[in-house]
Structure 1
Amino acid sequence: MTPRQKTHAVYIGWSAAVAAALVAGLVGGPVSASAAPRSHAVGPGGSIQEAVDAARPGDTVVIAPGLYRESVRITKALTLRGSGPGTVLTPGTARTRAAKGCAEEGNGICVTGTAERELAGVSVRSLTLRGYRRTGLWASRTDRLSVRRVTSEANGVWGIAQHRSVRSVLKGNTVLENGDAGIFVANAIDAEGGATDTGGTEIAENRAAGNRIGVTVRRVRNLSVRNNTVTGNCAGMFIVGDESRPAAGAMTVRSNTVERNNLFCPATERLPALQGSGIVLTGSEATVVRDNRVRDNVGTWPMSGGIVLFKSFVGAANTDNVIERNDVTGNSAADLIDGGGGTGNRFADNVCATSRPGGMC
């Protein structure tokens, strides 16, 4: 063994001893290896799914920088942590699709509980998801899911999406050039029904650009959408409800920057053509839209404008929403639009130049 190799071996032994001593000191004595959370390392050429399968609840899977051609299904409480944007997951070949169901459905990472038991306490952070046919990160029936510092880009439908989930934190992520919404939170995508209570889900400090819609929240209640930067999409934010009960709403949309969402997206089976929409409420009740900067969203389509109240396509009106203290300028067809009927909607103390009907600025 060379002197350099001996030094390296001594350093590794010293580091392991110090780490063991620190752990023992923190908990007041030796820790059983079977009881302590473990860390599982994955490097280029390794399988993330195999590490996830080997992990126990509470463990952490750490992924080194590199390109990983696979999908990953998570069905236990653990942390999946990349090493920053350079940790990239992209669709794999048939031979590498170990995540049963997730890859076949066209998703990158799937976090899934069951109807009988929600999956609680999963954390995904610091990695990139790119080019999946459906969704970069898909979550279903989860509780306290945390998604932070994830980049999800160029996926066929959604960047980060969840349904039937509660108390999530989606924070500090970047969603770019996805086919539908960059971030999508819904009651259910596989059934009709009233809005569900998210238990205080947070959509915060994300950046959305180049998507069809930056952020969509559909048929849910009790959540906050705050401090996001949404620019360069066809539409900025959609708050969507329908005629079912309970109605969508009872949420806060505040301190977001929603500017220049002027890409053009053609009509689909569900929506007309989109261009120049800032914040759109359709079929919402008791939602507070406050302290947002909504500027230079310009279009000539039905939902174009700064902050737009629009009757849902099944006829549900907006009721009892509060639109106040927003900076809404440079938008067209108008800065503020109260359309589609509804009662109890209040516009107050907004900085704006044009409104439909007139007199709201």
Structure 2
Amino acid sequence: MTRQQMAYLACTAAVVAAGLGAAPPTDHPTVHRVSPGESIQKAVNTAKPGDAIVLSPGTYHESVRITVPGLTLRGWSARSTVIVPGPSSADSTCAKAGHGICVTGKDSSPVTDVTVRSLTLRGFAKNGLWASGTDRLTVRQVTSENNGQWGFAQEQSVRGVFRDNVAQGNGDAGLFLANTVIAEQGARDTKGAVVRHNRLLGNRIGLTVRRLRNLAVDHNEATGNCVGVFVVGDENRPLPGALSVRHNYIHDNNKYCAKTARLPFLQGSGIVLTGTEDTLVAHNRVEDNRGKSPLSGGIVLFKNFKGAPNQRIEIRDNVVQRNGTADLANRDTGKGNGFHGNACAVSQPAGMC
């Protein structure tokens, strides 16, 4: 070996050694595995940001509260991993509130990048999944069924993704997204929340979007509810809107729901908008929703309970068939609302088909 080669190797070794000495230790995410009979909450409490908790097949009797950013909670599959109510411990705020999974941060300091997927939430007194103060929460391939209020619910949050889920037989909405549930406030900008490829079956309302802006609702199926999709606003500023409802299949939402303090009885409503602005409803298939409620019909514009009208709603290129009392219904006094290119038979007032 020449002197030049020896000098090169010595220099290279010194550089490598220096680099190794300078490099900080790398923290690798940990996978925590939990089996039936073990505590999911205990695993969550020991997890660090970026970790994953993987649940084996079976039934788990507890509620789970997540405040760790970047955490993934994943079951084996929605059919095989089931979480049901268990004993409520004194320090379990999620269980005492009647929820299955709680993902909670603060409005001013949200918990970020949490993922919940591939499991079932069943039979909770309040909500299957409750989220408040989150950023980029992802809920995917989760079934939430037979819960007392909402299947999935989120407030005070941005950039949420609800995709490929099933919400069935819940007391109110299968999927409920809102600005806040504790105060009367103007609409919140969700910064691009997505509701996509979900199945909403046999709830009071399939999907409720309340006082929100800037989100997409597309490629969902809603059937067997009293109302398929309900976009709700009021007179608070800013108004809800700047959102889209596209490529959904909304059919046979003919369940009867009794009136409440804010709403008449509900039955036979496909897509209903109240008190919203600048919203696109396009390329949906809305069929066989029949009833005699003031909100009944395929696609319905209606003033909200405080009289706030819809404004600048574009309803176009939808297939709206066999709905009663009308396929398209404009029961509103708002300005700039348009109906164009829809395939339908009956409208109120006449002439929109």
Q: State the distance in 2 between where 1:43 and 1:320 align.
A: 53
Q: Which is higher, the Rg of structure 1 or of structure 2? A: 2
Where does 1:174-213 land on structure 2 (aligned, <5 Å)?
A: 174-213=166-205
How far the C-alpha of 1:101 sits from its partner, in A, is: 0.8
- Helix, strand or coil for the counterpart of 2:94? coil
Q: State the distance in 1 between where 2:184 and 2:269 align.
A: 26
Is 2:77 the counterpart of 1:84? yes
Gaps of 5+ in 2: 1-19
Which residue is 1:262 aligned to?
Answer: 254
Q: State the distance in 2 between where 1:324 and 1:67 align.
A: 46
Is 2:319 the counterpart of 1:323? no
Q: Percent identity between the aligned chains?
A: 56
Q: State the distance in 2 between where 1:337 and 1:233 align.
A: 19
Question: Are the structure 2 counterparts of residues 46 and 346 from structure 1 closer, same or farther at C-alpha, using a change threshold of 3 Å?
Answer: same
Q: State the distance in 2 between where 1:241 and 1:274 align.
A: 17
Question: Are the structure 2 counterparts of residues 46 and 250 from structure 1 closer, same or farther at C-alpha, using a change threshold of 3 Å?
Answer: same
How far the C-alpha of 1:269 sits from its partner, in A, is: 2.3
Give the TM-score of the pair, scaled to structure 1: 0.90
Q: State the distance in 2 between where 1:127 and 1:34 align.
A: 31
Matched letter for residue 92 of structure 2:
K
Gaps of 5+ in 1: 1-27
How far the C-alpha of 1:340 sits from its partner, in A, is: 2.0
Which residue is 1:337 aligned to?
Answer: 329
Which of residues 37, 43, 53 in structure 2 aligns to 1:45?
A: 37
Which of residues 118, 121, 124 in structure 1 aligns to 2:116?
A: 124
Is 2:101 the counterpart of 1:112? no
- Helix, strand or coil for the counterpart of 1:261? coil
- Helix, strand or coil for the counterpart of 2:154? strand
Q: State the distance in 1 between where 2:26 and 2:37 align.
A: 28
- Helix, strand or coil for the counterpart of 1:194? coil
Which residue is 2:6 aligned to?
Answer: none
Q: Describe the superposition over 1:302-321 as per-residue Cα deviations: whole angstroms up to 9, x where unpaired.
A: 10000000000011000000
Matched letter for residue 92 of structure 1:
G
Aligned 8 A contact 2:216 2:244 in 1:
yes
Where does 1:167-316 land on structure 2 (aligned, <5 Å)?
A: 167-316=159-308
Matched letter for residue 259 of structure 2:
A
Aligned 8 A contact 1:49 1:99 in 2:
no
Aligned 8 A contact 1:287 1:320 in 2:
yes
Q: State the distance in 2 between where 1:302 and 1:132 align.
A: 32
- Helix, strand or coil for the counterpart of 1:147? strand
Aligned 8 A contact 1:71 1:99 in 2:
no
Matched letter for residue 149 of structure 2:
V
Question: Are the structure 2 counterparts of residues 111 and 99 from structure 1 closer, same or farther at C-alpha, using a change threshold of 3 Å?
Answer: farther
How far the C-alpha of 1:271 sits from its partner, in A, is: 1.8
Q: State the distance in 1 between where 2:261 and 2:137 align.
A: 31
CA RMSD of aligned residues (A): 1.4
Q: State the distance in 2 between where 1:350 and 1:359 align.
A: 11
Which residue is 1:59 aligned to?
Answer: 51
How far the C-alpha of 1:270 sits from its partner, in A, is: 2.6
Question: What stretches of structure 1 move > 4 A for 4+ residues in a row?
Answer: 31-34
Matched letter for residue 214 of structure 2:
N
